[in-house]
């Protein structure tokens, strides 16, 4: 059950626009806790009941679990669930960012396919990866509790304006497009321009907010009133 819950929440968090399409343990916990803040009482009760099956677990403590076990025997196949690569017919990156399942997610081995699958089960050395994985958010100088308090109103506002809870393809395509539109990659590989962390932190926070809102929508749909686990 830990795996099913975790996949539902982590896949929503992965569909964000960072160069590596991932967050650190801090980022995963922040997304999960912000989403939990938005759940209805029935959905929260269902989630708590599921988590009772895991000793000393809460949604924050299990949020980064897949990163911890992806290389362990029996879980190697989950590595592909951490991302989706958009490719053109020659195998290069598709800058149009149009998702084609047969090309970009053969056999369902990508985050776009993993999220609906596990949502259904529920209702039943620093490189640029490292910079976005940790350092961009950390540049704010906030601990988890303070960051959660800072972003919670934005998550609530995003949820209030949301119209589509689970359009996973749109999420992935939008994330892909941001990689180019926001000039995330430095012009000189290995050299971050002055002020890079502070400049990009608003985007990272916006994607944390989006991920938390998506996760809240997914959990609410799966566990809220009228739904059955």
Domains present along the chain, CATH in parentheses? 2-223 (1.10.575.10)
SS3 content of the chain, % helix, strand, coil (to 5): 60, 0, 40
Measure the CA–CA gap between 199 and 203, rounded to whole angstroms. Answer: 8
Tokens of 2: 């830990």
Of 30-34, 102-106, 154-158, highest mean pLDDT:
154-158
Of the candidates 58, 55, 56, 38, the one whose C-alpha atom is nearest the C-alpha of residue 47 is: 58
- For residues 184 and 23, the answer to whether their CB atoms sit within 8 Å is no
Tokens of 131: 């910079």
Cα→Cα distances 18→3, 108, 170, 179, Å: 24, 22, 16, 7
93 DSSP β-pair partners: 87
| pLDDT value, residue 167 | 78
Quick one: what percent of the chain has pLDDT higher than 70? 69
Q: What's the distance, Cα to Cα, between the start and end of the chain in Å? A: 11
Mean pLDDT along residues 173-198: 73
Whole-model pTM?
0.61
87 DSSP β-pair partners: 93
Tokens of 203: 């985007």
Residue 54: how many other CB atoms lie within 10 Å? 15
- What angle do helix axes 25-37 and 144-161 make, rounded to 10 degrees? 50
Of 19-28, 49-58, 180-189, 203-212, highest mean pLDDT:
203-212
Cα→Cα distances 92→65, 85, 95, 104, 125, Å: 31, 10, 9, 11, 27
Arithmetic mean of pLDDT over the chain = 76
């Amino acid at each position: 059950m830990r795996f099913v819950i975790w996949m539902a929440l982590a896949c929503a968090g992965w569909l964000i626009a960072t160069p590596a399409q991932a967050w650190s343990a801090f980022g995963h916990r922040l997304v999960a806790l912000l989403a939990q803040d938005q759940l209805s009482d029935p959905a929260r009760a269902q989630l708590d009941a599921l988590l009772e099956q895991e000793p000393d677990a809460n949604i924050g403590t299990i949020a980064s679990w897949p990163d911890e076990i992806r290389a362990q025997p029996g879980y190697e196949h989950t590595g592909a669930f951490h991302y989706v690569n958009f490719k053109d017919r020659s195998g290069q990156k598709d800058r149009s960012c149009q998702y084609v399942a047969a090309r970009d997610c053969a056999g369902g081995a990508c985050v776009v396919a993993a999220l609906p699958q596990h949502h259904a089960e529920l209702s039943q050395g620093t490189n640029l990866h490292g910079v976005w994985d940790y350092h961009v958010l950390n540049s704010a100088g906030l601990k988890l509790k303070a960051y959660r308090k800072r972003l919670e109103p934005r998550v609530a506002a995003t949820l209030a304006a949301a119209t589509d809870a689970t359009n996973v393809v749109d999420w992935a395509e939008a994330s892909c497009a941001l990689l180019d539109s926001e000039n995330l990659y430095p012009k000189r590989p290995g050299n971050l321009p002055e002020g890079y962390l502070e400049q990009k932190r608003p985007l990272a926070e916006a994607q944390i907010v989006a991920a938390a809102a998506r996760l809240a929508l997914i959990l609410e749909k799966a566990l809220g009133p009228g739904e059955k686990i």
